[in-house]
A and B are shown apart, each in its own frame.
Chain A
Amino acid sequence: MSVSTPPTTRHFTERLTLHYDPSLKRNRFNQIATAIAGFFAVVAVIPLFLVIIYVLFQGGRLLSLQLLTELPPAPGLEGGGIGNAILGTIVVTLVASLIAIPVGVGGGVYLSEYAQNGWFSRFVRFGNDVLAGVPSIICGVFIYSLIVATRIFFDQSFSAMAGGIALSVLMLPTVIKTTYEGLLLVPQELRWGAYGVGASRFVTITRITLPAAFTPIATGVVLGIARAAGETAPLIFTALFSPFWPEGLFNPIATMSVLIFNFAIMPYEAQNELAWAASFVLVIMILGANLLARWISRVSRT
């Protein structure tokens, strides 16, 4: 040791071993905090599993070909199925998709590709966020007064069309937002590349930018459809219900969610069972849609 080095004063006199010591205060605290957070994480997913297991248990055993293809029985009778409601849900969701996808994707393209960040586009984006938070029953009442009460379609009141329009209002925010955000993720260099070889803005968007953002857009659309397909409140006022097979777009139509709502509170055993069966089918369909959305994003990422 050289003599010139001044003696350093050590404030941390006690030097511990470098090995992990579980009895230390900070380590114990860390373990407790991890355990609490983990517990709440488990609690958070419990409802999902309980719902699925319960619906599976109550409704799954009723699953049969007859359930999927027959009409519900008249009150007091046994048997029957929910075929009309399954078909109705598909029809109404299809109508909603046909409206919400073009409008939503178009709006998202406008916000991301055309709009300067001015007051109008900020207003649209803010309005869209607000629309996403509007309770679904409000959408139902709105379409009820706009379309059903005014009998605007061929003097028909309740109709599949009205139900589809109500659901499209619910889907719209999801589709716009995911389209907009998906397009924002497309690297600017890609657009420059297209402009650099002389592409117009329209060609750039339709041939380069939109295909590049296909994954997030498709995912958003599927999630939007899944959300809309399970909605009840907006359909009660608009599509109403029907114990028969669908009679066209401008007549009342049965849907699974409304069927559950109606049949679950009826004082008949057969109807209650059908409500459980419909719950099961609906949950499986929505689960399937979510899995499809995940699959889309997985497949095109590779």
Chain B
Amino acid sequence: MTASPSSTVASDVCMSLQDVTISYGSFEAVKNVYMDLPKGKVTAFIGPSGCGKSTVLRALNRMNDLIPGCSLKGRVIFDQHDLYDRRVDPVEVRRRIGMVFQKPNPFPKSIYENIAFGARINGYKGDMDELVERSLRKAAVWDECKDKLKESGFSLSGGQQQRLCIARAIATEPEVILMDEPCSALDPISTLKIEETMHELKRSYTIMIVTHNMQQAVRVADMTAFFNAEAVEGGTGKVGYLVEFNETENIFNSPSQQSTLDYVSGRFG
């Protein structure tokens, strides 16, 4: 387990999951996942509820550490490090792998401070005004915010709040951005704006997104991973597993697995 993994990971791979099994207490939520997530692309995780896709996403920047009883077996390789090595500092991991959550969660501070907070604690020394503007522009929310930077983040609409949270994630200049159903609480127009934002962002960042909306996966993702869950003998519930991971086009047009076809064609889930 301690051998250097660098030789096994190709250079265009951003993160590599090797036989990852994640459990809550003694219950295995998702089992034996192997995946090479490509650099500079958008990868979508789709699948029915309870299949473990959010769990896998949170494992990528050690957010699961915050959930009591959650443990991971296997390896998650990022930048030639196993993220679950005992020497790895989860705070450092999250600085390089940012996250946007399902519900917009701006801090109860001004819009400006929402952006500046992450940069400041990461030791940003440059021009803060410039960073705030650049981050808000990248997240396509600058025009709506520029006249009210001093106002509370809560004064924005839901969609604007979510783009503020994306700007907040960008401001720390991570290499990867994880998005956990970022549009599920938003209306179609805000969703569209966030998707446009993602198209802009993938030029400079690797993005992984969990979504329940298959059209969204088709619109934004280069690669798609389909997760499913099935009951196992003697288990306490359904265990998630990775069914198929391929280019989005293949997943939706010519999947190799029957269950993928059933899911993407709307026959179940």
Contacts and interface: CB of A to CB of B under 8 A. Distances in A.
B156 interface: no
Contacts of A195: 63, 66, 91, 94
Contacts of A193: 101, 105-107, 165, 168
Interface in B92-143: 92, 94-96, 98-101, 103, 105-108, 117-118, 121-122
Most A CB contacts (10 A, CB to CB) among B98, B105, B169 go to B105
A199 B118 contact: yes
A198 B63 CA distance: 11
Interface in B187-216: none
B101 A192 contact: yes
B68 interface: yes
Contacts of B55: none
Interface stretch (A147-155, A183-191, A244-252): A183-191
B228 interface: no
B100 A192 contact: no
A50 B118 CA distance: 55
Interface stretch (A205-213, A258-266, A280-288): A205-213
Contacts of A211: 108
A116 B108 contact: no
A192 B105 contact: yes
Contacts of A198: 91-92, 94-96, 98, 118, 121-122, 172
A191 B94 CA distance: 13
A192 B172 CA distance: 15
Contact of A196 (B68, B103, B106, B169): B169
Contacts of A2: none
Given A192-B63, A192-B66, A197 B101 contact: no
A191 B122 CA distance: 17
B105 A187 contact: yes
A197 B94 contact: yes
A197 B66 contact: no
A194 B66 CA distance: 12
A194 B121 CA distance: 10
Given A189-B105, A208-B107, A211-B108, A196 B121 contact: no
A197 B103 contact: no
Contact of B169 (A116, A187, A197, A199): A197
A74 interface: no
14 contacts: A189-B101, A192-B66, A194-B117, A196-B94, A196-B99, A196-B101, A196-B169, A197-B118, A197-B121, A197-B122, A198-B121, A200-B91, A203-B121, A208-B117
Interface of B: 61, 63, 66, 68, 91-92, 94-96, 98-101, 103, 105-108, 117-118, 121-122, 165, 168-169, 171-172
Query: 8 smallest A-B Cβ distances: which pairs?
Result: A197-B118, A198-B95, A196-B99, A189-B105, A193-B105, A198-B94, A200-B91, A197-B172
